[in-house]
């Protein structure tokens, strides 16, 4: 199909999947249980971090996290002390365990205490000439690990770095959740300081394979260079909101077995 036909095809798929019915079977259902901005962004970040593998297991682990944090994650984090670590000991999702969770909680407490929260940690380095979230993700990662000590190095792998070539799928997905707002009921759009035009597609095996079949992604590896390749083509379709096509690529891959 030509470019115009491809755009129409993907636009139709965005409309099909970008609806509230998408929420129930997706990890985004966990932060949708909350109303407070800080609760939404904290649970969104934690759930996005563990969002690999079986989606039902991700949601199950996400609900476990919400319970561990007393269904008030911001309050739990801001009042957390090392003596509270017993609450975390039984949590494990694949390679993310209670050790990692404890560090995440202390790092998040530091962000809310010293950096004015998650939105500011991502948005503060954005300049007018910025065209992607590359620098912001790297800045956030620096802030997140500023309290690290040698015992915490194992946790580095759970916060991706585009500078090291990672596609940073889970962070890009989290940013989509927080920044996009099209009043369709799926993404939250609670971060107003970041322009949706800067967002990148959360590239994974499904969106990558569909992108290649459709000719949007020539590169074979799912790395940051591939993200930039895919972004370039998606921005030709909608420069102001390129990441909306994540719904189309993901839906085609997961629900329609397109590729």
- Residues 72-104: pLDDT tens digits? 999 999 999 877 777 788 899 999 999 999 999
37-50 residue pLDDT tens: 999 999 999 999 99
Sign of the Cα torsion 220, 165, 250, 156 reads positive
Q: What pLDDT is attached to residue 150?
A: 60
- Computed over every residue of the chain, the mean pLDDT equals 93
The answer to whether the beta carbons of residues 26 and 250 sit under 8 Å apart is no
Q: Considering the domain boundaries, does residue 237 fall inside one? A: yes
Q: What percentage of residues in the chain have a pLDDT greater than 90? A: 85
Segment 161-179 mean pLDDT: 97
Angle at 259 between CA 8 and CA 182, to 5 degrees: 40
Alpha-carbon gap, residue 183 to 109, rounded angstroms = 30
Predicted structure pTM score: 0.95
Q: Considering the domain boundaries, does residue 12 fall inside one? A: yes
Residues 6 or more apart from 82 whose CB is under 8 A from it? Answer: none
How far from 56 is each of 24, 59, 98, 254, CA to CA, in Å? 10, 5, 20, 13
Q: Is the pLDDT of residue 152 over 70?
A: no
Segment 197-207 mean pLDDT: 96
The answer to whether the beta carbons of residues 138 and 163 sit under 8 Å apart is yes
Q: Is the pLDDT of residue 151 over 90?
A: no
In DSSP terms, 96 is beta-bridged to 93
Q: Which of 50-59, 123-132, 186-195 has the lowest mean pLDDT?
A: 123-132
- The tokens for 189 are 């759009």
Domain coverage including residue 212: 3-254
In the chain, beta strands by DSSP E: 92-93, 96-97
Q: How many CA atoms lie within 13 A of 6 on its CB side?
A: 17
Q: Considering the domain boundaries, does residue 104 fall inside one? A: yes
Alpha-carbon gap, residue 196 to 183, rounded angstroms = 14
Q: Considering the domain boundaries, does residue 259 fall inside one? A: no
> For the chain, what is the domain count?
1
Q: Considering the domain boundaries, does residue 128 fall inside one? A: yes
């Amino acid at each position: 199909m030509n470019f115009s036909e491809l755009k129409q095809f993907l636009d139709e798929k965005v409309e099909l999947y970008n609806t509230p019915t998408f929420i129930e079977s997706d990890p985004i259902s966990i932060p949708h249980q909350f109303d407070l901005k800080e609760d939404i962004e904290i649970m969104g970040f934690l759930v996005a971090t563990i969002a690999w593998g079986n989606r039902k297991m991700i949601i199950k682990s996400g609900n476990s996290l919400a319970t561990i944090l007393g269904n008030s994650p911001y309050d739990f984090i801001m009042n957390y002390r090392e003596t509270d670590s017993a609450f975390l000991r039984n949590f494990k999702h694949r390679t993310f365990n209670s050790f990692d969770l404890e560090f995440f909680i202390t790092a998040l407490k530091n962000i809310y205490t010293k950096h004015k929260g998650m939105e500011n940690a991502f948005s503060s380095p954005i300049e007018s000439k910025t065209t992607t979230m590359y620098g912001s993700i790297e800045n956030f990662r620096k802030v997140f690990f500023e309290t690290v000590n040698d015992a915490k190095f194992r946790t580095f792998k759970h916060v991706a770095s585009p500078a090291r070539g990672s596609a940073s799928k889970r962070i890009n997905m989290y940013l989509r959740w927080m920044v996009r707002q099209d009043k369709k009921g799926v993404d939250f759009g609670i971060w107003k300081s970041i322009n949706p035009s800067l967002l990148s597609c959360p590239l994974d095996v499904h969106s990558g394979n569909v992108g290649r079949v459709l000719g949007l992604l020539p590169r074979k590896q799912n790395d940051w260079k591939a993200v930039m390749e895919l972004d370039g083509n998606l921005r030709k379709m909608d420069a102001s909101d390129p990441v909306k096509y994540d719904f189309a690529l993901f839906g085609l891959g997961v629900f329609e077995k397109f590729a």
